[in-house]
Chain A
Amino acid sequence: MASDDGRLEERPRVVRLRQIDPANDSFRITTRHRDERLELSLERIGLLTPPLVVSAADGLAIVSGFRRVEACRRLGWETIPARVLSEHTPAYACALRAVAENALARPLNLIETSRALTLLEQHAPGGRLPPGDAAALGLPAHAGLAAKLKPLCRMPPEVQEAVLEETVSFAMAGELGGMPAAAAAAFARLFRRLKTSLNKQREIVTLVVEIAAREGIDPCAVLGDPALAGIQGGEELDRNEQTRRIRRRLRQRRFPALLAAEEAFQALRRRLKLGDNLQLSPPRDFEGARFTLSLSFENLEELRSLRDKLDELAGHPDLHRLLTGKGTGFAGAPEP
């Protein structure tokens, strides 16, 4: 990191708040929003650390201290002390300070890290962030990880918010990042509502994307299925149940024949009245030839009872249908 021995930075001086452009977010790293405690602290104790600003053609731009400036403005202050960088300060030097003042004061979250990397790379000489600078700022120096992090801050706000509240993981955000913005935002909204695990999110994304590809429609149209909206609108359903039903609905649309066979199999199995001590399982996805029947018992009496049940079962017409109907998906089975 290039050191300027503080030559670029002037001593704190008093500036008018209206000189500071509130719309200039060029150097914003923080994702934190208004905090009333900060306003209270400013009111009672005063501004302990003056914000860092840089002179620009039409006033001053904030480099670090966005929340402090905003809080002062909200308190109705007209002037504040600020550290002012000269207008000749290179943008990369400003970016380094912006990141340093945030990263060295607290751990950056994923979006802030993404913003920091993007900001530095944007202004770095030659467009490449020197690994030494990244390391000095506590940013990931590994090129692969940095490459995955950088797009985060350009994703739709819904995705970024979901990442911040940890309802969407970094891994899932990466997957959503490869989608059109509208689809990524729609998934983020869904996952923020369901608060479900990464595996289930992945299953939902895969199902939706594959249905959309097969049907030649947009993933948003799949997510807009009224049946899915109905499940999410069901006030009586908790999130787990909503997630289960949404997954099932999507699987039904993606694998209609397989799901129909599963339901028909279950309907036939119910008619066998197996009880709690007998479990009958089909081959996985009905692909293999072998069914599995398992017995659980505590004593000889229960075992004898199960033996009688097995004898009865062997002659049951529905067991015959279960064993022979696999090839047709149990066509003609009773309604589930």
Chain B
Amino acid sequence: MSIASLYVDRQVADLPETRRICSRLGMPAAYVENAEQLYADLAAAEDPVGSGKKRLFLTRNKGAFLKECPGTRHYTCCGYRILHIGSYCIMDCSYCILQAYFHPPLLQYYVNHEELFRELERCFGARGIQRIGTGEFTDSLIWEPWTELSRTLAMRFARQDRAVLELKTKTANIDGLLDLAHRQKTILAWSLNTERVIHSEERGTASLGARLRAAARSAEAGFPVAFHFDPVLIYEGGEAEYRQVVDRLFDAVAAERIVWISLGAFRFMPDLKAVIRKRFPGSTIIYGEFIAGLDGKARYFKPLRMQALRSLAQAIRRRSPTTCVYLCMEDDEVWRHALDVTPAERGGLARMLDEAAVKHCGLQAEAGGR
């Protein structure tokens, strides 16, 4: 999917990053005095969710760049910190929660990078290990054709030893990063799914093969890599297909380069159901056996997701018994069944991941941190 319209917040029109992006996009920009009007125009479009993917708005982040991951108390969260570089995505995955998260969803990129870097420097000065990622409200690497932010961030992270940056993507846009002296402080991470799911549900994303080739090249370039099986979908024949993906993953990438692998069963806010039904009428993913989770999101009936996650975890363990595998937003009962351990038995999920980051990224653990 390509950008059809470029909008520039008048207040950031003269920032260097704005000029660079406009120049690279090579398209006329509409200057925006009042963002509310832009949102209203988008909301009035026939398909605001789809239309928002083609309209890029360059603006400034008026809030904090660093945010806590929006976990809930009912399920165990990884304690990841989000670096909010922009929002939404040009790819079009049926299950994407961002479709219902922003009102209306609009491709926004924040160009006030001086403030971003100041905030990061403060974070680098804090005690304890920090795991920071840009792939929560957007895909980390869709911006590569127009910006050099990932490269700049990787260089900044390379200068310190307390924080690690995770760039999470469904693209293969790594060419601009491979020559960096990254000092293992940037983890390149891929969201993985089965060929069937990628083909039917992940429009505009890189193929599984392309993702794995990009991961292999990244690992060869010395980057720590990570993988996220999220969302895991439950369907007939799915367990075998996910096992095949695991085999292809370990055939492509040496286990010792993998910092962690996360597993997350498909879950969604109730509002997303109507969006998927309307935008992806051929998709059947919302017709699984979902119940209302304790956090209000629809989740697969627990025994079903426990079985699916256990099957996937066992496939990973068979190929690499020591790779850090964790569950995204699950409770102790699911952890116990899928992984034979609870986070508390390992000192908590945050600690498990901190230790993996220390081991693979050369971070300097500090007593009393976090």
Contact = CB atoms under 8 A, between A and B. Distances in A.
B333 interface: yes
Interface residues of A, number: 21
A287 B302 CA distance: 6
Given A289-B333, A327-B337, A258 B301 contact: yes
A261, A285, A286 — most chain B CB neighbours (10 Å): A285
Interface string A198-212: 000000000000110
B292, B301, B306 — most chain A CB neighbours (10 Å): B301
B343 to A, nearest CB: 15
Contacts of B299: 287
A285 B284 CA distance: 22
A210, A256, A287, A289 — most chain B CB neighbours (10 Å): A287
A315 interface: no
B291 interface: yes
B244 to A, nearest CB: 24
B289 A257 contact: yes
B302 A213 contact: no
B333 A327 contact: yes
A326 interface: yes
B163 to A, nearest CB: 34
Interface string A257-300: 11001000000000000000000000011111100000000000
Nearest to A329: B303
Counting contact residues on chain B (CB < 8 A from A), the size range is: 20 to 34
Contact of B293 (A287, A326, A329): A287
Nearest to A213: B287
B333 A326 contact: yes
B226 to A, nearest CB: 28
Contacts of B302: 285-287, 326-327
Contact of A258 (B74, B289, B294, B332): B289
Contacts of B301: 255, 257-258, 261, 285-286, 329
A214 B293 CA distance: 21
B306 to A, nearest CB: 5
Contact of B284 (A213, A254, A261): A213
Contacts of A255: 289, 301
Given A213-B287, A326-B333, A327-B333, A288 B304 contact: no
A258 B333 contact: no
A328 interface: yes
A257 B300 CA distance: 10
Contact of A284 (B287, B292, B303): B292
A213 B294 CA distance: 27
B82 to A, nearest CB: 27
B144 interface: no
Contacts of A289: 331-333
B289 to A, nearest CB: 5
A261 B303 contact: yes
Nearest to B293: A287
A256 B289 contact: yes
A162 B207 CA distance: 51
A257 B304 contact: yes
B304, B332, B333 — most chain A CB neighbours (10 Å): B333
Contacts of A254: 289
A287 B294 contact: yes
A128 B302 CA distance: 54
Nearest to A255: B289
Contacts of A214: 284, 287
Contacts of B292: 284-285, 287
A256 B284 CA distance: 17
Given A210-B287, A258-B289, A285-B292, A327 B331 contact: no
A256 B300 CA distance: 12
Nearest to B290: A255
Interface string A296-336: 00000000000000000000000000000011110000000
A254 B337 CA distance: 25
A284 B332 CA distance: 17
Contacts of B332: 289
Contacts of B291: 258, 284-287
A319 B326 CA distance: 31
B232 to A, nearest CB: 16
A261 B291 CA distance: 13
A256 B291 CA distance: 12
Given A287-B294, A288-B294, A289-B333, A327 B287 contact: no
Nearest to B300: A257
Contacts of A326: 302-303, 333
Contacts of B286: 210
Interface string A231-256: 00000000000000000000000111
Contacts of B289: 254-258
A213 B118 CA distance: 51
Contacts of B333: 289, 326-327
A286 B302 CA distance: 7
A211, A256, A261, A329 — most chain B CB neighbours (10 Å): A329
Contacts of A216: 284
Interface in B291-334: 291-294, 299, 301-304, 306, 331-334
A109 B326 CA distance: 60
A289 to B, nearest CB: 6
A286 B301 CA distance: 8
B286, B291, B292, B302 — most chain A CB neighbours (10 Å): B302
Contacts of B306: 327-328
A240 B284 CA distance: 32
A328 B338 CA distance: 12
Contacts of A213: 284, 287
A211 B284 CA distance: 10
Given A285-B302, A289-B332, 7 more contacts: A213-B284, A257-B301, A257-B303, A287-B291, A288-B294, A327-B303, A327-B337
19 contacts: A210-B287, A213-B287, A214-B284, A214-B287, A254-B289, A257-B301, A257-B303, A258-B301, A284-B291, A284-B292, A286-B291, A286-B303, A287-B292, A287-B299, A289-B331, A327-B334, A328-B306, A329-B301, A329-B303
Interface of A: 210-211, 213-214, 216, 254-258, 261, 284-289, 326-329
Interface of B: 74, 284, 286-287, 289, 291-294, 299, 301-304, 306, 331-334, 337
